[in-house]
Amino acid sequence: MVLKKASALGGTIIAVVLVVVFVPPVLLNETAEFREIFMKKCKGYPMDQTTCKNALNAFEKAFVGKNEKDVTEEDYEGLFKEVPFKHPCGITMFWTGTNELVHEFTKTRDHFFTLEDTLLGHVLNELKWCGKKNSQGIFIKECSEDKPNPVFSFWKLASAKMAQYACKIVTVMLDGEREKPYYDKR
């Protein structure tokens, strides 16, 4: 009888050890993959490596360890203090529904600057990320599309910060063929 209990207990311990050993590599792979993409894109922007590391640390503080729905725009405030806009404020261009067109247009004209031309916009453009409560990892594959979420909250604050930063002449590119060419609900 004692031998059966010891065997059962030993099997349980092995199963727990296997779960602990097996789950973290998946988490570490996604976290490492996201950090690698972030740093590669950041280094591709005219910025020093220290700025990139500080930006990544401030970025992670906004959402890592939190439920996706609990991440708000306010959580990214520290990131924008760490990485403020530095382009001339009078050449700001906003857009909605014209992503490809506006970036083709601004690529050939250096007198317009979109959010995606800023350091954070450049690095985070087209990326998806989230955290999970009580986890220190970055997830990229199983993030909710429901709003609010970390990606939506980031872009909402980034757009508001860019609008506050803009000065003098501000340009907007809209799609005139759309029934509602801009999103009118904040």
8 A C-beta contact, residue 81 and residue 120: no
Rounded CA gap, 19 and 14, in Å?
9
Residue 112, exposed/middle/buried by CB under 10 A (0-12, 13-18, 19+)? Answer: middle
**Separation CA 139–CA 151 (nearest Å):** 12
- Residue partners of 140: CB distance under 8 A and separation at least 6: 30, 33, 34, 127, 128, 129, 130
Residues 6+ away with beta carbon under 8 Å from 63: 71, 75, 129, 130, 131, 150
Annotated catalytic residues are: 89, 167
Tokens of 42: 């950041």
- Cα–Cα dist 106/83, whole Å: 22
Vertex 150: Cα angle to 31 and 73 (nearest 5): 135
